[in-house]
Amino acid sequence: MAAADPVARALWLLRDSITPYLKRRVIVVLLLGFASGLPLLLSFGTLSAWLREADVERTAIGLFALVGLPYALKPLWAPLMDGVEIPVLTRMLGRRRGWMVLSQAMLIVAIVGLATSDPRQAPLLMAGFAVLVAFFSASQDIVIDAYRIETLEDDEQGIGAAAVTYGYRTGMLVAGAGALILADSWTWTHAYLAMAALVLIGTVTVLLSPEPLSPALLPQGSAGRRSFGRWMADFVVAPFSEFATRPGWLVILLFIVTFKLGDAFLSIMTNPFYIDLGFTKTEIAEVTKLFGLIALAVGLFIGGLLIKWTGLLNALLISGVLQAASNFMFAYQAVSGNDLTVLTFTIGVENVTGGMGTAAFVAYLSSLTNTAFTATQYALLSAFTAFGRTLLSAPSGYLVDHVGWFDFFIVSVGVAVPGLILLLVLMRFFPDHAGRRGVASTPEAALKTKEPPT
């Protein structure tokens, strides 16, 4: 009987780890994550293959990257989704679900427009539809993030971060590999029409899901009865001014910019690194995309559990140290050269630790939002993350050219250190800095959190 105790405990731990993912509201978040990830590649990545097959010049294809600007600019219109009611839809579905259904309906129209465009005869029209796809996709992301944060309990935010990322990556896989397979066996038009139909998965999910309760802090009265100045104060100024009243808010913003900087600094140069080592495109695809996706899923799962067991800030620290240290594997790869076994191990370590860090970081960003203006604040915080990823990692190629691959990867570990130092400052001086609803930041706080009913 005693010998069976470890087995029974292991089974209990496994069930306890998996059960949170089977809750209805977490499954809803998973499906909405799929709806969020599906359109991302349709406006550029997958579209670029269609354009090139149609003999569109590479220079023109490169300009299509600009259609992705709405993803970076979404904080500009996020306040509308916190403070504007949609006639009929808001009354029927509520604040969040009404905006999601409208965004998805317009997204379907834009993808259908893209599907029926001719890249040879009307490239500008196709570019216009691609911008619309990106715009309505970014708009959908704003509301899905807000819905996820508002419907999940505080101690479910880590699990929710993992679930939404699972769904997001699956949607990207379908829109990438899936659309290419359909286009190869059918036509590009049929492939894009199929992608438009898949958006309905998100719409059906929204219609079958409850509307989150509006918080008590939400300014009362409809937008129609509020002056423009009052509306601007309530839904544009207030989200920023409320955040700026929190202790250590500037340190928080600096941490958001720098936490994933080591990973971003490295990841922008990984494909050139693989090519320089002589790996084939097939090897790169199989190891970094297929195996890498599995490793990422494992990391997300571990990250969700880590938040539950140790608290959010401790989970951030553990995953942050591990994801920084994982960059040493690339330095070892640079020494090993064209060794597929080492590459597989490198990608496994990188994606597992990166998945852990992503789960903890998304949960952390969620904890910072005030539910009176979730959409605006989360869009702003995610934009700060994008700032660090895009602008501050830009010198990475210059550094490779001057110091070589091995030293570059060693430096990339050092690039992650400022984010960890800022995290230690937050843990020491500002441990309680979340919004109106936050994830437990310490193991003791996590233990005091009431278990929500399923």
Is the distance from CB of 375 to CB of 143 less than 8 angstroms?
A: yes
Q: Which helix (H) or strand (E) holds 187?
A: none
Quick one: average pLDDT of 272-283? Answer: 85
pLDDT exceeds 80 at position 225: no
Quick one: average pLDDT of 227-250? Answer: 84
Question: pLDDT, tens digit, for every residue of 287-301?
Answer: 877 888 899 989 999
pLDDT exceeds 90 at position 116: yes
Give the pLDDT of residue 345. 96
Residue 385: which pLDDT band, with cuts at 50, 70 and 90?
confident
- Strand, coil or helix: 401: helix
- Reference 149, options 353, 306, 447, 381; nearest CA is 381
CA 152, CA 95: separation in Å to the nearest integer? 17
Lowest mean pLDDT among 5-14, 170-179, 441-450: 441-450
CA 401, CA 398: separation in Å to the nearest integer? 5
Quick one: average pLDDT of 238-266? Answer: 88
Residue 249, phi then psi, degrees to nearest 5? -60, -35
Question: pLDDT, tens digit, for every residue of 164-211?
Answer: 988 998 998 888 878 888 888 889 999 999 999 999 999 999 999 999
Quick one: average pLDDT of 368-380? Answer: 86
Q: Kindly list the structural domains of the chain, giving each domain's residue range(s) and its CATH number in brackets, ordered by start.
A: 22-214 (1.20.1250.20), 235-449 (1.20.1250.20)
